[in-house]
Structure 1
Amino acid sequence: MWAMNVEKYWEDLNVLHINREEPRAYYIPYADNESAYERKRGRSPYYQTLNGSWKFQYHPSVNTVQDDFYKEGADVSGWDHLIVPSCWQVNGYDQLHYTNVNYPIPCDPPYVPNDNPAGLYVREFNISGQWDGKEKYVVFEGVNSCFYLWINGAFVGYSQGSRVPAEFLITPYLRSGRNRMAVMVLKWCDGTYLEDQDLWRFSGIFRDVYMLAREPVHIRDLFNRQQLSADGRQAELRCELDVTGQTDVRAELQDAEGRTICEAQARIDGKGVLKLEVEEPTLWNAEQPYLYSLYVTGGKEVLHISVGFRTVAVQAGVFTINGKAVKLKGVNRHDSHPELGQTIPVHHMIKDLMLMKRHNVNTIRTSHYPNDPRFLELCDAYGFYVVDEADLECHGVLRAGDFHMLSKNPDWQPSFVERAVRMVERDKNHASIVMWSMGNESGYDINHIAMAEWTKSRDASRPVHYEGAAPRYEGNPNTECLDVDSHMYATVDYIEQYARDERSTKPLFLCEYSHAMGNGPGDLKDYWDVIYRYPKLMGGCVWEWCDHGIRTETKEGVPFFAYGGDFGDKPNDGNFCIDGLVSPDRKPHTGLLELKKIIAPIRIEADCLEEGSMTITNLYDFVDLSHVSINWKVEKDGQIVEQGEIANIDTAPHASQTVTLPYRLPAASSGRYLLTVSCRLRRDTLWAEAGHELAFEQFKLPVAEAGLPHNRATGTSSIQVEREGAQVRVIGFDFEHAFDLSTGTFTGISKQGVPMLQAPAAFGIWRAPTDNDRNIKHKWMEEGYDRAVPHVYRADITEQTEQAIEFTVDFSLGGYIKRPILHGQSVWRVDGTGEIAMRVQARVREELVFLPRFGLQLTMPWGTEEVEYFGLGPHESYIDKRHSTKRGKYIMTVDEMFENYIMPQENGSRYETEWAVVSNEQGMGLKFTAPEAFSFNAAHYTPEDLTAATHAHQLVKRRETIVHLDYKMSGVGSNSCGPELLAPYRLDEKEFEFRLTIKPLFKEDE
């Protein structure tokens, strides 16, 4: 058992820290304005990093820790080296473990397992002689989950609360020359019950560690409160100061160009206020993130705080910024790096933010804890609205049978409230933060109310949100302390009902919606059609930004991204951490492209396509469209015939403007004319280059259909039919097909002796379940959808002439145990050109749930690698996930059709395909057409291959090409966590007919 001579604080609710400094605003002191402006920590003479290599020793249990490891004479020469900051699990220590709701330990708060893993850190460091006479502090910006600190063998203090800073005064423990610091980090503490977020459970000193040298009397804290006049033309900045004694303090406010706007100074003793008045302030918003620089000088120290003047308020049930209704077009973002875990380098933060800006995201919810303070500085500068969330989630108590177990227990109230206090005090000066969040999925009762009430008393300038107070959780009904109603995964119908309910007086925030796991989400447009319609709906944050895969490799050295269970971790939630809009290495999924299109800041609508008249609506809240050019092109059957640009648009925010595109249309044509209108940046920005596309729309132009050119293949060539038992050979001038009457399908298709069918054609209804099928797939499998095979009742030659032959087949599809899923009749007609016309009529059993798909599967031979089609592209599309695609003619390889999801699943389908050709590189293959657009896919994997694999690296690429020609494919939705697939997107028809034509061809002869 515990043998060290320090107290066992980690299970004591009465001890949240020992000797830790009071929380304060984040800053680094500098020597002058210039270095403070640059924000390069290492250029400050008052800053010294402790990042780097530390001696490290891991213990599976704190009970085996030697009592003297922290003492000055302790020999640590044989210990390992570990880079700080880092998470020790990604460095080979302990157990990589992913779990969502369930606690990884027995639910017995505040107690944790006796065998509590510990990481011991030791390093030596020097103190600069220039620091003589100064007070020295050490700052740990993030340590999971609690830690003890010693310097030169003396106990300094203790802290818990993983993702907010812990600062200690260390002057009394230091000496000139060499010093030794020792830290013991424990994996679990009573705070673990409040940190049950949906993530990999990492441990260690995972954020920066540094020392600060301060004047004996210095500015300890500052809070920049601002007051704007009603018309926004005057601003008062109240700099509330907390000084450790008495000193002269000077404040200087500079604009973005470095010009001094105003100054103030005073002698402050303890607490005081400096007031600065600003005339005609430029206001900050996410579209124009204008920042002033406030330099506060006390003694020899200069603190630089960026100031963005803006107001955030709820007015008449509407969320506003600077008095204007704003829609939050957001994502939830965890700290997640594929190699470093929760240790996030600054360049990685910037990469995330630039990707978000390029995809029209304007809001980030820091799910579910405060991020690195430098991330917020970047959000201020790049322009994002941030919902800053307290490091609080106790979801695991749900499994213990009482979701409000901790939130209603007054013994836990100090722990709850402190997490709000430390977040607010650290982040209070950031313009980007527009809402405080009291945590996530922790029930709701007196402790949350205490958090919210403290937050509002400290900072009334921002609304307070907490989703766990939603009525469906049946907790404490007192929600007066919350300023918005928050919901997760509410249905589209629900949010519309809320918006229309006059009793609902608060704006509705979808803190999580449209679960982006795997091939999805598929319901974004449905949400945003409603959100735009009602002012009371303030928007929301898609769950979530990135897949949390851990980059690893198999024993054979094959790299892959791992998820829950891949390291033997129990309990685990499998691939539920693979649920983002981008991959772990930040490659956008098609779901992110869909989000970009749906939340685009510009709407393009056709007024009169004959005349080229368009209405451009500016959906920005604060900027006009002078930064945008309109590029347009007219294509005939995929070939550009005209294009142009309009650069002089200046549509005001929330206004519309009519523009005329000067294209010319023929009176009639045998071709199809499409107009694509694209809105692009006119100049470079911080996050994208000139020419970056913000929004687009596509229209079919009204050109009358002229007579089609004469087709030299008349279909009058004669055919020869040879039959041997059930095998029928249809032989024409340059083709030979084989039909098997016993199986009711084609077994061979060829042209000029080139075989184009490797296996019998087959009807199919199964698709490899997407992550969003995780619920419905059980009903599918219960009814045998995954094992459906055909049964042929009758197959006959029902017509035969010199020019054509027709086969009629009565069949069913069904799996063992269950009755047939559907009955159908297929009619196949072959004419003298070798073209196969198929017509199938199907009747689905009445009581069954909707089908995944219905269509024809063809297996084409090795070498069939080229795909050309006219339809939606260039990436995958589904009935409910297609708005980011453009209609046109595309040519690509089979591999390029494939979307490589970490968990293999249905992917790569092309919705509304009009025709497709799958061929070898010489153009020898099959062309598919239909009277109605169809869904089409070509891959080197069958649905069964994708279903069986749990990771992409397990897929074995087939030499053959598997082609799917679907009457319809059900949508993808977001039901991995969100609502069920909407009815219009289900293949729920009980009777339907599908027509398709298959034509063998050599493209060079067409």
Structure 2
Amino acid sequence: MTDRQVLYQHHPAEHENTQPWSKSALKPRAWHESDADRLSLNSPDWRFRLSPTVIPVDFTAVDYDDSKWDKLVVPSHWVLNGHGKPIYTNLEYPFVVDPPRVPTENPTGDYRYSFIKPQWSGAGRTIIRFDGVESWFKLWLNEVEIGWSSGSRLPVEFDITDHLSENNIICVRVIQWSAGSYLEDQDQWWLPGIFRDVTVLHRPNNCADDHFVHASYDYTTGKGTLKVDCEGEFTRVTVPELNIDMHAGDSITLDVEPWSAEVPRLYRGTLATDGEHIPLNIGFRTVEIRDGNFRVNGAVILFNGVNRHEFHCERGRAVDKETMLQDVLTIKRNNFNAVRTSHYPPSSHFLDLCDEYGLWVVDEGDYETHGFGFVDWRKNPSDSPAWTDALINRTQRMVERDKNHPSIVLWSLGNEAYRGFNIGLMANCVRSRDSSRPVHYENDWTGEHSDIWTHMYTWPEEIERIGKREETFDGYGYQKREVSLLTEADRVRLEKSRREKPFIAIEYGHSMGNGPGGLLEYQQIFEKYPRLQGGFIWEFIDHGLKQTTADGKTFYAYGGDFGEPRGTHGGNFVCDGLLFPDRTPSPALLDVKAVFQPVVFTLDDKKLLIRNKYDLRDLSHLRFSWRLEKYGEVVEQGELDVPKVKARHTVTVDLPSTLTTARGDSKAGWWWTVTATLDGATWAPDGHEVAWAQYPLPHSENTSNKAVLTSLKIGNDTVSVGPATFDSTFGKLLTFGSIGVEDSHLDLWRAPTDNDIGGPITPDWPEVSAPNRDKWYTAGLDRIQNRVDSVEKVGESLVVKYTDGAAIYDRCLRTTMTYEARDEGRSLHVGVSIIPENDWSDLQLPRLGIRLTLDTKSLERVKWFGLGPGEAYPDLRSSVRMGAWEKSIDEWQTPYVMPQENGNRMDVQYADIVDDQGQGVRIEGDPHFNLTVRRWTSEQLTAAKRVTELEPSDKTIINIDYANSGIGSASCGPGVADKYRTVLKAGEAMRFGFVLRTLG
């Protein structure tokens, strides 16, 4: 017999077991801040030690010497404070998928903190509350083990009454990887630590252990019904404004004003027991699904929503109250009405703000197992009895904590955790506790367990079919397999049930880098079909972590920047928000605001139609004004007298008499703008613009100014055409006025956007087509060669003919550039004719136009008349309007976390690019053009991975474009719609022109 001695064997430690998920934790309850005493343990003076793996517990003795330990602020993440490194994954687990086991290399943070026993006012219990700890922790007090818990984004409380002394030492061990980590693969940074509040609470004798506010509203009678459940003999509910004074458990019906996201009417009340007084914020509203629609207070709701992770570029998920308020105000001010708390319950304070300021909330459970998709969903917790208790536990803790928030209108069980019987058990768990709100789960593609059918990144064409209840949806990727396993009877039953449900696009409009494009088309479809009830854009903010280079430059780190192994991280996929990491709005946020604006203006002959898109409120909170501008200068302005416009109704208003007469000139510089602004400060200052529209006034073309050409001059080696000189051999533009020209050529290339690059091919999306960037590289658009075919004097014009094409292929562009001097030699007219040869039809061009590289860095500012002030692309232009604008060249750039195409301005009629003395170049459209101005080339922009890698050159690079393709949302979702693509047809000529004029 072999003598075997086991020296080490990996086995599930207590923090890896799937059961129990906590020890000694108190029953979850509704969170409130009462008049009972409390002591915050938030402090920068916690002692902290990080170990690379789980080591024996050696630090819980009261007299343990922790003087050599570091100090760490609580709440925070240790990896953002110099201890270890953060890890980003999109889908993948950063460890072997062997549930419930976790790696031996398991960062373990030990915390110690001392506090003096609180002097509570009265007898009672003392409990300690942790609002968020990632991912598993154990607690000791004065050497006594109190308990443990998992569920990173959920609170847990422990009774410590019997273990308090005058001077107390609290010890906490936090382990990064636990069995709970398998439930928290949520497309975000893995950030261990105690990252939410730690509080010691006095629970007086005869306090309210829990309470449940039921406040419904009958929209047919205008009456609300209030009942507050609370255990205890001596409990009263008072609401002074409503003259309510009743026992808890009693019910009362009376006239009230309802709560909604549009008018967040809250009544302040109190739940009083012998031990404490709990403030109540009561919002009367009724949520229901009726006649195939999701309704609040009887009205069909259209969600103009956004997905929001909790994130701060320096503090991770340790988000302070001031930042939460900033987020809520930003959401409201940009015409969102809803937020989904992806993919876990947020801080309770954020929900308080949603109640106060008015947002529909989808409260989502702390659950996602996306990484199991890489192993064909084997052992996925959604379909495993070993994980049932954990999932029920997380669901209960969410519902119990958040049940009293009127802003929450929909419970979400989690995200992207595939299917299984546990989903049904979780749904039943919610309904058994709270039947007043529907239940949602996106991966319930058949609609078996969810009250609402939802999907993500659905193509607009499919959404329209869903709107008509004509969808042929059978899933994609692994979903098709699931559908194929259904019996015919089940398939028919579930399809019938699904088609009776309302539809919400729970994620769409992936806001990664420059984009998303095409949001207007989505919104138009949502508004067309009653079944479609809007959606939630992905997502609110880029999750870049603020870093500094050795020379002091700031950048924002993403996946791979902290040494994550190749193939296990999601790169810059973590930067996919409408706000940059420092909470600066991206151009797309302004586009969303315009697409979601709740008032629509339509000009109809001599009338203005004003449509109210609010679901529940009229427009009495808004002022309406107009202004008439000529080339950006206000000529006249005034107020509009608008009658009361009820929700989802339209009124007609007479136009000011000034506007009924046609005005204008050949440049069509007259524009009329109408705006709706807040009449009084609420969630934004008085005068905040909520909606606008702009219309050109009718104009007649002025053709009396015929172009008068100036003679060109031929020298020994050069040709002078007005203010420009050319090389006479190759037709190269050498100078313009006093400025040297380094280069001028036909340009097809742009630095690929994240949406041009496309998203990762994953188990969810195995059939993703090749992204634009790959097609462009294959076609050689980044290596176009230019051949000069001829240089000729034709009359008083210089005509240069080129052939542009990529090596390997025979398709090319026959380009003719015609240069003419006008205005007595003060300007240069450039005519461009492009004839594609051979087949280009399978290729969307990035751009098509002329690139000028001026040999000067003295030009600093751009003044233009056209769309602005921000960037615009064919499918991303709802927020820009015609006007006279000015920016520095530095301000012209959009600093996307990963550098890419940016800064295009559309419909530019003229632009002055000048130095501080007003000297430089004017570009005039014939009639208009697209414009970008940079200090670096598109090739340099393509090569850069960080904004810190972009070094301004001593050149000024200008793109004067005939066309620039749309953006789309192909980083996760549909690409560019056909109507926004720049596609060439063989033999079909394209012609455009512009004028260059010297200034100063």
- TM-score, normalized by the shorter chain, greater than 0.5: yes
Counterpart in the other structure of 1:264: 246
Counterpart in the other structure of 1:58: 49
Matches within 5 A, 1:808-823: 808-814=800-806, 816-823=807-814
- Indicate how the Cα distance of structure 1 residues 186 and 992 shifts in structure 2: closer, same or farther if over 3 A, else same: farther
Counterpart in the other structure of 1:763: 746
Q: Is 1:330 the equivalent of 2:305?
A: yes
Question: How far is the alpha carbon of 1:400 from its aligned partner?
Answer: 1.7
Question: How far is the alpha carbon of 1:654 from its aligned partner?
Answer: 0.8
- From 785, 793, 801, the equivalent of 2:781 is 785
CA contact (8 A) 2:270 2:278 kept: yes
For residues 40-76 of structure 1, what are the alpha-carbon distances to aligned partners after superposition, in whole Å with 9 as ceiling and x for unaligned?
xxxx5x21111113443333334334x3301222111
- From 143, 152, 155, the equivalent of 2:145 is 155
- Indicate how the Cα distance of structure 1 residues 89 and 232 shifts in structure 2: closer, same or farther if over 3 A, else same: farther
Matches within 5 A, 1:132-171: 133-171=123-161
Secondary structure (helix, strand or coil) at the match of 1:966 reads strand
* Root mean square deviation of aligned Cα: 2.2
Counterpart in the other structure of 2:712: 719
For structure 2, list consecutive stretches of 5 or more residues without a partner in the other structure.
1-5, 471-495, 758-770
Q: Give % identity.
A: 35
Q: Is 1:249 the equivalent of 2:240?
A: no
Q: Is 1:738 the equivalent of 2:748?
A: no
Q: Within 1, Cα distance between the matches of 2:7 and 2:72?
A: 25
Q: Within 1, Cα distance between the matches of 2:539 and 2:182?
A: 23
Q: Is 1:221 the equivalent of 2:202?
A: no
Secondary structure (helix, strand or coil) at the match of 2:65 reads coil
Q: Within 1, Cα distance between the matches of 2:257 and 2:393?
A: 35
Counterpart in the other structure of 1:943: 938
For residues 958-989 of structure 1, what are the alpha-carbon distances to aligned partners after superposition, in whole Å with 9 as ceiling and x for unaligned?
22111101111001111111112111111113
Q: Is 1:491 the equivalent of 2:465?
A: no
Secondary structure (helix, strand or coil) at the match of 1:419 reads helix
Question: How far is the alpha carbon of 1:556 from its aligned partner?
Answer: 2.1
Q: Within 2, Cα distance between the matches of 1:378 and 1:248?
A: 31
- From 584, 599, 618, the equivalent of 1:624 is 618
Question: How far is the alpha carbon of 1:865 from its aligned partner?
Answer: 2.3
- Indicate how the Cα distance of structure 1 residues 468 and 731 shifts in structure 2: closer, same or farther if over 3 A, else same: closer
CA contact (8 A) 2:934 2:958 kept: yes
Matches within 5 A, 1:992-1003: 992-1002=989-999
Counterpart in the other structure of 2:487: none
Secondary structure (helix, strand or coil) at the match of 1:929 reads strand
- From 733, 737, 749, the equivalent of 1:747 is 733
Counterpart in the other structure of 2:515: 520
- Indicate how the Cα distance of structure 1 residues 204 and 530 shifts in structure 2: closer, same or farther if over 3 A, else same: same
CA contact (8 A) 1:855 1:966 kept: yes
For residues 882-907 of structure 1, what are the alpha-carbon distances to aligned partners after superposition, in whole Å with 9 as ceiling and x for unaligned?
11111122233222221121211111
Matches within 5 A, 1:191-202: 191-202=180-191
Counterpart in the other structure of 1:480: 448
Counterpart in the other structure of 1:36: none
Secondary structure (helix, strand or coil) at the match of 2:680 reads coil
Q: Is 1:315 the equivalent of 2:311?
A: no
TM-score by length of 1: 0.91
Q: Is 1:457 the equivalent of 2:463?
A: no
For residues 256-288 of structure 1, what are the alpha-carbon distances to aligned partners after superposition, in whole Å with 9 as ceiling and x for unaligned?
xxx3521212xxxxxxx5123141111000111
Secondary structure (helix, strand or coil) at the match of 1:75 reads coil
Q: Within 2, Cα distance between the matches of 1:998 and 1:932?
A: 10
Secondary structure (helix, strand or coil) at the match of 1:980 reads coil
- From 678, 684, 691, the equivalent of 2:687 is 691
Question: How far is the alpha carbon of 1:941 from its aligned partner?
Answer: 1.5
CA contact (8 A) 1:629 1:649 kept: no
- From 659, 664, 673, the equivalent of 1:676 is 673
Counterpart in the other structure of 2:646: 652
Q: Within 2, Cα distance between the matches of 1:598 and 1:209?
A: 41
Counterpart in the other structure of 1:474: none
- From 101, 104, 124, the equivalent of 1:111 is 101
Q: Within 2, Cα distance between the matches of 1:55 and 1:235?
A: 48
Q: Within 2, Cα distance between the matches of 1:668 and 1:262?
A: 63
CA contact (8 A) 1:404 1:444 kept: no
CA contact (8 A) 2:860 2:888 kept: yes
For residues 575-623 of structure 1, what are the alpha-carbon distances to aligned partners after superposition, in whole Å with 9 as ceiling and x for unaligned?
1111111111211111000000000010111122xx4x21111111222
- Indicate how the Cα distance of structure 1 residues 403 and 500 shifts in structure 2: closer, same or farther if over 3 A, else same: farther
- From 865, 876, 887, the equivalent of 2:860 is 865
TM-score by length of 2: 0.91
For residues 722-780 of structure 1, what are the alpha-carbon distances to aligned partners after superposition, in whole Å with 9 as ceiling and x for unaligned?
244xxx32265xx34113543xx4322333xx12x421211111100111111321111
Question: How far is the alpha carbon of 1:7 from its aligned partner?
Answer: 9.7
Q: Within 1, Cα distance between the matches of 2:337 and 2:157?
A: 32
CA contact (8 A) 1:768 1:947 kept: yes
Q: Within 2, Cα distance between the matches of 1:669 and 1:147?
A: 71
Secondary structure (helix, strand or coil) at the match of 2:658 reads coil
CA contact (8 A) 1:936 1:965 kept: yes
Counterpart in the other structure of 1:416: 391
Moved more, 281-290 or 881-890: 881-890
The count of residues paired between Structure 1 and Structure 2 equals 943
Q: Within 2, Cα distance between the matches of 1:355 and 1:870?
A: 29
One-letter code aligned to 2:973: G
- From 422, 446, 466, the equivalent of 1:447 is 422
Question: How far is the alpha carbon of 1:669 from its aligned partner?
Answer: 4.4
- Indicate how the Cα distance of structure 1 residues 719 and 194 shifts in structure 2: closer, same or farther if over 3 A, else same: same
Q: Within 2, Cα distance between the matches of 1:132 and 1:626?
A: 51
CA contact (8 A) 2:872 2:903 kept: yes
Question: How far is the alpha carbon of 1:459 from its aligned partner?
Answer: 1.1
Q: Is 1:19 the equivalent of 2:28?
A: no
Question: How far is the alpha carbon of 1:719 from its aligned partner?
Answer: 3.1
Question: How far is the alpha carbon of 1:659 from its aligned partner?
Answer: 1.6
For structure 1, list consecutive stretches of 5 or more residues without a partner in the other structure.
31-43, 266-272, 471-476
Counterpart in the other structure of 1:541: 536
Q: Within 1, Cα distance between the matches of 2:750 and 2:219?
A: 58
- Indicate how the Cα distance of structure 1 residues 994 and 749 shifts in structure 2: closer, same or farther if over 3 A, else same: farther
Secondary structure (helix, strand or coil) at the match of 1:112 reads coil
Q: Is 1:368 the equivalent of 2:343?
A: yes
Q: Within 2, Cα distance between the matches of 1:155 and 1:133?
A: 24
Q: Is 1:891 the equivalent of 2:886?
A: yes
Moved more, 228-237 or 275-284: 228-237
- Indicate how the Cα distance of structure 1 residues 152 and 385 shifts in structure 2: closer, same or farther if over 3 A, else same: same
Secondary structure (helix, strand or coil) at the match of 1:532 reads helix
Counterpart in the other structure of 1:35: none
Secondary structure (helix, strand or coil) at the match of 1:299 reads coil
Secondary structure (helix, strand or coil) at the match of 2:381 reads coil
